[in-house]
Amino acid sequence: MKIEELYKHLTPKQLRRVVMYKDGITITEIARIEGVCYNSAKDSIYWATRKMAKHARKQPHPSI
């Protein structure tokens, strides 16, 4: 499954933060950009990755 397909399951806020984090922006900087505390940014990214992992596990494996 492509990462873009997993992004569909995220809220706009989660998507924004995960993409910034993937692009190398620190959680501290993401929090500053978003105007939230560090823990809010960290938790949002954590739950977004959990949500993506959950949906990735649900996908059937392709037949070989």
Domain segments of the chain: what residues?
3-58
Mean pLDDT of 2-20: 92
Q: Tell me the average pLDDT across 26-51.
A: 97
The angle formed by the CA atoms of residues 33, 50 and 36, to the nearest 5 degrees, is 20
The fold of the 3-58 domain, in CATH, is Arc Repressor Mutant, subunit A (1.10.10)
Q: What is the pTM of this model?
A: 0.83
Res 23: pLDDT: 97
Q: Is 47:40 a contact under the CB 8 Å cutoff?
A: no
4 burial via Cβ count (<10 Å: 0-12, 13-18, 19+) = exposed
